[in-house]
Amino acid sequence: MSITNETAKQHAKDNAITCCRFEAGTVVEPSNLEDPNIIPDLEDSRLLEIPENCLKIGEVLGAKLTKTLDALTPITPDVVEGYTSMEEEKSVDPVTPVEPVAPIGNLSGQTVKIHIGEGRDINLEIPLSIAGSINQSASNQAMTTTFEDKAEEKAEAQEKVLRKLVRKHFKIDKVELAEETKVDGNTLYIRKDVCEGAIDSQNLVVDMKLDIIDKDRYSEYSETIMDVQPIATKEEGEIGEGVTRVLDGVVVIVTGTDEDGVQIGEFGSSEGSMDRNIMWGRPGSPEKGEIFIKTEVKIKAGKGMERPGPMAAHDATDVITQEIREALKKADESLVVDSEEFIQKRKPGRKKVVIIKEIMGQGAMHDNYIMPTEPIGTIGAKANVDLGNVPVVTSPLQVLDGCIHALTCIGPASKETSRHYWREPLVIEAMNDDEIDLAGVIFVGSPQANSEKFYVSRFLGMTIEAMDVDGAIITTEGFGNNHVDFASHIEQVGMRGVPVVGVTYSAVQGQLVVGNEYMDAMIDNNKSSQGIENEILSNNCLAPEDAIRAVAMLKAKIAGEDIKEPERKWNPNVKLNNVELIEKETGRKIELEENEQSLPKSKKRREIYEVEND
């Protein structure tokens, strides 16, 4: 298959291979060359072997073949004459940068003095009439510079604080069952019969157990983990502002099955021993050493696959969490061990950026509660499936204050738990970056059918158009048909001329199912060594290292820098190269996350592993 002039230009630096048989004497044109996009396939299938001295497309165009070549022959210097070597061009000494020359001062008489420190092929032809006005334009330039300087100063002065959020931390190192739910010192007491009320609150819930797991019991069996939730409550103000109290050292874990023992949601279930299924320390997962308040909800048989089933498990668990929240509200102020302040600022004059988070909206276990009255609560919230999955704009502080209660099956390593949003690294990174102005965070659901996907995507496009942003980062969780709308969202933003970066788990298994011309800047969240889904909680979720790469990538794209085309197959080195580049440019050390290799292996696996090494 021959190529066009445009393709030849784009691929000037790719290898030149003939597409058909051509006689000696043929002058090489794009139509004589094979499409560089299919060359790697030909190489893989061993139809083609490319010698080291193969010439590039840009070198052979216009040259004459000295031998008759068969189809799919690499063009080398010995079969062609009159080619222009690109390497020769490279051999030119690099021009050393010259100190900037001061603007020309007063002109005297009729002379124009131009000094060029080092240069090649420079022709200057300046009519005297123009040369005479150089003085004026030079000072214009100087004036503009000062004006810009002032504008920048002014912009910084205008930085506007929209709202503040204070997080007060209470340290818990012991959880016990007792007569009454209360926070006393560093101990959290939970009422013994707290489950009864929780069971009664939901028709679909037939039984419920509460278990307190400390680090000595991590290796025990657990039903599938449906969510990891911080325990937090509002002391003052609404979600996203005021004061929030949070318990450190303890998390709520929702698990459940139906009466027959079938895991709720069934897919991506992570039942098994906890220490082999949890990737510690990810934004969405527990920290090693934390105490789990684990509910095991039993719902009516066969209800685990319909939306109300998993929702009932979450709602019942939240009855217990709410009782702890009430106790936390009453806890003595002197127990506060740490206090964090988050400030939401608008920074005029900086590049206005929006984060778009695509969340699941396909049905049961692919859903989220948005904007409860308490952080990560359920009361007062609406499910994004019920909202029609349309875009919802929130403030970064609302996200960090628990405006999302995740109902997704979080078993797959790439799904985001409630705690993930509470510690959302991309929101924190973008909020703290002084070079950009984070305008807000948009949540958009991912419905099942393509027709609905495009329906919500068009709304997202219009939202972005109305916001007049300079850049956007779009993230998605999991993989599958949500990549259809992920691609569509990127297109809707990109076609409006807004630079856009996509963030998703992709690697080997989550390869994108569709693509478009705007998807040229992508960040892969993969951390598993093999690039696959490995049922380890939060392993392949967005982590701080990915957030840094995404923001750096967006800045590069806004600045109009070239982004290299992706390699044909997943190559983990692409990420490492980018990390190195960012570290070099910013002088900031990026800590890479550990992956599943740091978790204990099963006894059997260890034995076999060791035997193999003997």
Partner 1 sequence: MDKLKYISTESYYEGIIIEVTDAAVVIDFKGRLGQLKVPRRMVISNNDLKVGQQVGFLMTFPEVISEEIDEDYAESAKRQLEARRKAEKRNEK
As a whole number of angstroms, the distance between CA 348 and CA 479 comes to 36
Q: Is 542 helix (H, G, I), strand (E, B) or coil?
A: coil
572-586 helix and 544-558 helix, angle to the nearest 10 degrees: 70
Contacts of 491 (CB under 8 A, 6+ apart): 457, 516, 518, 519
Q: Please, which residue, 2 or 448, has the CB nearer to partner 1?
A: 448
Angle in degrees, 0-180, between the axes of helices 425-432 and 544-558, rounded to the nearest 10: 50
The type of residue at 416 is E
Selected from 295, 482, 492, 539, the binder of partner 1 by CB under 8 A is 482
Pairing verdict, β 64-65 and 221-222: unpaired
Among positions 21, 329, 568, 605, the unique one binding partner 1 when judged by CB under 8 A: 605
Which ranges of 476-539 would DSSP assign to H, the alpha helix?
482-494
Query: What residues contact residue 79 under an 8 Å CB cut-off, 6+ apart?
Result: 65, 66, 67, 69, 73
Question: 170 or 369, CB closer to partner 1?
Answer: 369
**CB of 58 within 8 A of CB of 87?**
no
Stretch that binds partner 1, among 115-123, 128-136, 198-206, 449-457 (CB under 8 A): 449-457
**Residue number with CB closer to partner 1 (349 or 480):** 480
From the CA atom positions of the chain, what is the Rg in Å?
30
Q: How far is the CB of 450 from partner 1 (least distance, A)?
A: 5
Please select the residue that binds partner 1; options are 39, 165, 210, 365, rule is CB under 8 A: 365
Indicate left, alpha or beta for 349 from its phi (over 0: left) and psi (-120 to 50: alpha).
Answer: left
- 193 sits in the region (left: phi over 0; alpha: psi -120 to 50; else beta) called alpha
Could you list the beta-strand ranges (E) of 536-578: none
Q: Kindly tell me which residue out of 18, 321, 446, 463 binds partner 1, with binding defined by CB under 8 A.
A: 446
Number of residues near partner 1 (by CB under 8 A): 45
- C-alpha–C-alpha distance, residues 580 and 566, integer Å: 17
Give whichever of 264 and 331 is closer to partner 1, judged by the CB atom: 264
Active site residue 20: no
Site string for partner 1, 284-323 (x = CB under 8 A): -----------------xx-xxxx----------------
Q: Give the nearest distance from C-beta 253 to partner 1 in angstroms.
A: 17
Using CB under 8 A, which of the segments 122-130, 254-262, 331-339, 456-464 binds partner 1?
A: 254-262
Residue 448 lies near partner 1 (rule: CB under 8 A): yes
Residue 269 in contact with partner 1, rule: CB under 8 A: yes
Region binding partner 1 by CB under 8 A among candidate stretches 230-238, 268-276, 418-426, 435-443: 268-276
Does residue 480 interact with partner 1 by CB under 8 A? yes
Q: Choose between 315 and 429: whose C-beta lies nearer to partner 1.
A: 315
Task: Tell me if 430 sits within 8 A of 315, measured CB to CB.
Answer: no
Q: How many CB atoms lie within 10 A of CB 61?
A: 20
**From candidates 331, 409, 464, 543, binder to partner 1 by CB under 8 A:** 409
CB of 258 to partner 1, least distance (A): 8
Q: Which is nearer to partner 1, 277 or 538 (CB)?
A: 277
Which residues are catalytically annotated? 409
| Residues found near partner 1 in the complex (CB under 8 A) | 221, 257-258, 260-263, 265-269, 271-273, 276, 301-302, 304-307, 360, 362-366, 409, 446, 448-451, 478, 480-482, 484, 508, 513, 602, 604-605, 608
